[in-house]
Structure 1
């Protein structure tokens, strides 16, 4: 996928100030935030339209179909991001996603085509996401200097929280005012906002040595093998991605489907579960804000490991609290610890990886988080039905905690630091 991009002089290696005061970084952040809000509106519009056009099971299939091309093609998407540059790929991806969503909005305004159009849109979105997500992961290293990457990771976390808070209400408002077509139109327009902002962002040049692996005439398959070999042989990245995988596998199930079932069994109701979810989001937002303002936390590898371990203990404890108030307090701690460990792990990925490999590194990490971890959700639901919430939450906590144990046991990861 290609896009015509205006050539802009590269940003300097260092901005001389914190990233949250750098106009170049703020333009990138604005583009990313607009795109993420558009994504949240898109998913709400897609689910609403699918429910209106078919049965609940058919709607579930439409919502799940985008995960298949994303999981199958994401490794190739990492190669594309490293070969063509993350900004070109993100701009091209956003342009295609915007065009697809607006086209569906136009069709829905004029007719009622049924589920086939929604399923086609989901496949297109998932396919484009396979190249979009690795490129998004590789972009911060081209926007700012290495000493600001941790701060940028915190800013990215704040953008994700903001998109989650405002995206659903905006999508609901669009549906209320003009149905699914209006919501799709709003999503497409917000995604479109990101394109001119990204075009205005200045990119840093890679050092000559970093460009060396992508030799002229080298096949994409060779690029992929080189990337996997690079990750496997890296003393920090390999155990870091394994720790992220264990943490996500133990975290996603309990904090998604498991929390719903726990609230139902405790009689907390939808409002009680809403308070618990809000507390988690607040804690994660505080962690992202801390990293945004501080920019660097010492002993990042050890701190991430301790945060994973602390979060795993809190996940296990969540199944045994008797009241909503106690659950809110524990969820706040989970959000803070999970947000801190996630931001630190993301910052370490950014700073430890050679920028020329960042697309492929982000792709491997994305497959773990977006491909493997969601598989735990139906397993969690089934296991809770068999054994109850307590044993399942504790087992998930143990799996999550193994990520922290691994990070502490591997000396190179435990001693990893963020650049000053």
Structure 2
């Protein structure tokens, strides 16, 4: 008898190369979450200023927004293992320098700002490379499961990491905690770099499954003119692919509709409308997180998504209905049910959108296509926070109804008849050496 679930989200870990890359990413994600806690604590200890705290926490977004598209070019030019290994090593060095400075008693606010800028720049190059890992290491039939594995790992670490970080700061202090963060990044580097010494048997990078997932071309670093040309070609690939372009629009719409309402609107709902204490508020947020993890697992495990318009309309419909319900019936049971449903739908939506974009992207432009999705998330989040604050001054209803309208419009744009989620877009020229090994001119 056929079953609804075709595979587990853990199935991609049977691929040796992906297993090591996942382990490295797990260590790096844990380091990032712990570092966020200790960074906030240090900023308050050094200055006692809310403005300084906000500056330290958001400064890393600037280089990410400026360099993410260039990071996509890098992901297309170079082996993703090398990009990620270099990123982990750089992060380890930056945080180790902070740990040494803190131990010497010389840490100042500008050190935190400089480290934030450096780490943000590194993330701009690492994030597009992460999005290329699953398509280049997994069999095609495990693409959704692989994306669900990475997303689910981020959800779990995002929940447990801050708790662990707070405990480390309380028990050992900020200096040793920074040393622990540097150690996690070092572990991520060692695990990832081990693939460069000897690729595991069956790795696509050794050519044993090149027919399923051809390795991206390699080449030398291009000039500024070459980089700009590569950026234009990545944009052209999107411009000539209406479906991929509209999926990116939905990524932006979902970020705009959910980031601010959940991060800003839910605390307002809990405190001002429902008069909840901190424990009940934490429960509401945990329902969102639990739902998100559930949605990721479901999206990665179902046998197939036979009618993508039905799947997209259903997932977006759940989000829209939950947002409208929160706006019109703000009670604790309703809020709990809505946040669980919203988290589940949002987790599934993320896996589906990323998978469809990866399926659309030509192999030689995968990093550039995915960097646009990464950029959309980076740019939209602060806009959503600001818009949520402005709308809350009007009413909570205006915030949630407005978010529902944005998401509804984005979904309607994607499900327009005539667009298909399969097949590749216009193929730009390769960004590195071809089969002959000669660098491009």
Normalising by structure 2, we get a TM-score of: 0.85
Q: Which residue of 1 aligns with 2:395?
A: 388
Matches of 2:332 and 2:184 in 1, distance apart?
36
Q: Which residue of 1 aligns with 2:236?
A: 229
Q: Which residue of 1 aligns with 2:189?
A: 195
Matches of 1:188 and 1:293 in 2, distance apart?
34
> Aligned-residue CA RMSD in angstroms?
2.4
Which SS does the other structure have where 1:409 is aligned? coil
Return the match for 1:272 from 263, 273, 280: 280
Is residue 272–residue 324 contact of structure 1 (8 Å, CA) maintained in 2? no
Q: 1:302 to 1:192 in 2, by over 3 A?
A: farther
1:204 has 2:197 as partner: no
How is 1:373-384 mapped onto 2 (pairs within 5 angstroms)?
A: 373-384=381-392
Which segment drifts farther, 294-303 or 402-411?
A: 294-303
Matches of 1:151 and 1:131 in 2, distance apart?
24
Q: Which residue of 2 aligns with 1:86?
A: 80
Q: Which residue of 1 aligns with 2:438?
A: none
Matches of 1:130 and 1:334 in 2, distance apart?
28
1:149 has 2:157 as partner: no
Q: 1:212 to 1:120 in 2, by over 3 A?
A: closer
Q: Which residue of 2 aligns with 1:8?
A: none
Total equivalences in the alignment: 400
Unaligned runs of 5+ residues in structure 1 are 1-16
Is residue 243–residue 414 contact of structure 2 (8 Å, CA) maintained in 1? no
Is residue 300–residue 344 contact of structure 1 (8 Å, CA) maintained in 2? no
Shift of residue 26, structure 1, vs aligned partner:
2.4
Matches of 2:155 and 2:77 in 1, distance apart?
31
How is 1:95-174 mapped onto 2 (pairs within 5 angstroms)?
A: 95-174=89-168
Is residue 41–residue 187 contact of structure 1 (8 Å, CA) maintained in 2? yes
Unaligned runs of 5+ residues in structure 2 are 1-9, 425-441
1:69 has 2:63 as partner: yes
Matches of 2:303 and 2:176 in 1, distance apart?
40
Return the match for 1:31 from 24, 46, 52: 24
Return the match for 1:45 from 23, 26, 38: 38
Return the match for 2:14 from 15, 21, 25: 21
Q: 1:215 to 1:45 in 2, by over 3 A?
A: closer
Is residue 65–residue 119 contact of structure 1 (8 Å, CA) maintained in 2? yes
Is residue 305–residue 403 contact of structure 1 (8 Å, CA) maintained in 2? no
Shift of residue 295, structure 1, vs aligned partner:
5.8
Matches of 1:204 and 1:270 in 2, distance apart?
49
Structure whose residues are more often helix by fraction: 1
Shift of residue 189, structure 1, vs aligned partner:
1.5
